[in-house]
Structure 1
Amino acid sequence: MARPRKHAAKLPEFPILDANGLYAAPTRGDGNCLFNALSDQLYGHQNEHQALRDATIEHMRANSEFYRQYMTVTPVRRNPKRKVASLAPAVPLDPAFHSADELQRMFDLHLEKMGQPGEWADNMEVVAFASALNVHVRLWQADYHYTFSPRDDAIPTTSPAHLSVDEHDTGKTRPTLNVAYHTWEHYSSVRSLSGPHTGLPKVTIVPHAAPSKKRSSVERDDEDTVFRASKRRSPLPLFDSDSTPECSEASSDESNPSIISSQRSVCSRESELPPTRKIKLVLKLRNPPSITTAPASPVTATSPA
């Protein structure tokens, strides 16, 4: 009889949101989910998605020289499955392979398509939205988040949705909108578990609850030296047989003082022991009794007749 299969416990989709007391609020998935989520963050409801889309498109058109360099000149849709797992800045296209006119033509087609209701937007539109609305956008994923800020060199637009801030603002008074991105390619507005669950959200972040960006392997290794216990060397032996002499400090774990002291105590105890008696091995060779030796007889050489 087959044994029943054990089902793995269901893991939370956003551990980082749970750690901060936040959750991904239900957001309409009608193709406008990014702007629905941003509208909920900015106005407390999802009804202004088209105005926010228009403001984003207007900003991208006014700053086409910047955004068009990230377009892919191919017959297929740019980023067809809308992946934002890698949010590092994209590498601009080499103008030697694509003329400015070709890039501008494809970019205009993209803006025309992106201006239609229900058209999926992705991370390039998030970047443009932050500059268009003069806000910060914090994009949450499973275990990390990114923050997009307005570009200082962006050409300003006069969209009614644009938020005006004091010209001496250092960025601290700009609102920060919080949006979650699901693995099933959907954006949601982020709200606090303690509320409010309607109207303008109030999101606060727990300090050091999670990293603000995805860490590299080098950064994780550096953190391991602080938060993770030091690795202990094997107690057998107390030296590296291939390189390091016995009882030397180089062969001990310098990161663990207890191991160093224990090894030094072992070395000191060994030095106090009386010298051991050296054993001398003597190898004697003897001939078998049936073999006798005789003096060698002279050998004469004869020449052929």
Structure 2
Amino acid sequence: MIRLTLGLLLLAVPAVAQQGVAPGPTLAGVRSKGVLDCGAHPGAPGLGMMDSRGVYRGLDADTCRAIAASTLGDGEKVRWTVLTSTTRLPALQAGQVDVLSRSTTWTHARDTANGLNFTAVNFYDGQGFLVRRSANVARAADLAGATICVTAGSTSELNLADWSRTTGVAIRPLVFENNAETQASYASGRCDVFTTDISQLTGVRANLQRPDDHMILPDVISKEPLAPAVRHGDDQWFDIVRWTVFALIEAEELGITQANAEAMLASTNPNVRRLLGVAGDHGPMMGLDRRWAYNAIRAVGNYGEIYDRNVGPNSPSQLPRGLNALWNRGGLMYAPPVR
């Protein structure tokens, strides 16, 4: 009877932090520096690359800005470290960056043997092929004998080898150290085909001198769930990065935008109030301010806004939402509740 009574008492205690928890090593380090060190892509249109004014833009870039806003209160407090496909994982492992938000595919080996934790998918992608229309190629099965540009140290390189082996389509891979070299080699005609994630191919095609002379084949040869990654060993930082991504997705579902976030503080919707920090102690549970999600949304907007301006209808890529639509609109984007 005593055990039952104690159990009932424990169940009655609200699962909220009365006081904020102490910052863990990564959060403490970020606050001490006053800046978030983010691993960045040397040039992935729509995901992460410098624009003509020297500003780093893209869906992954905005993810980093959201994390900076949730932890430091300012989405511009980001220091970008440009990393190649081969240097990105070691840089995160060694502590050179606090988070890797760089079109990196969540795989078993990376999530286990490499000592990393992938947080939450911010883009569902798949690998495809970019070809010249003049080649008269309709499907990937027609690529026998083609020279295919691919970047070293990427899942694209491994997927290409697997695809060739399983389909029996003999190809000639031409491997380059970084994406910029790979793109330039395709553009100059050194190879017949460029293969990488379709999101990147769409951006690359849009930036070619004559985009209509090129096409992306309909074949998708892999699953590429892209997600920000952190190091093993700091659960608090893992929670912060993961829930920042979730907060952007939840904001879209709840109709909270960059423009109306301030007004939504007056909402009577309990889900909105918890997300924006009006009710509950969800920020302090992670060592953050109660307005952690509000700060992230004000910095970059909700997930839909980020998508639309970087890879969607307001961008050169013009990618449909597809799998990246919200779960209640036919997609896979789903955030657990903040409660």
* TM-score category of the 2 structures, normalised to the smaller one: under 0.3
TM-score, normalised on structure 1?
A: 0.23
More helix by share: 2
Larger radius of gyration: 1
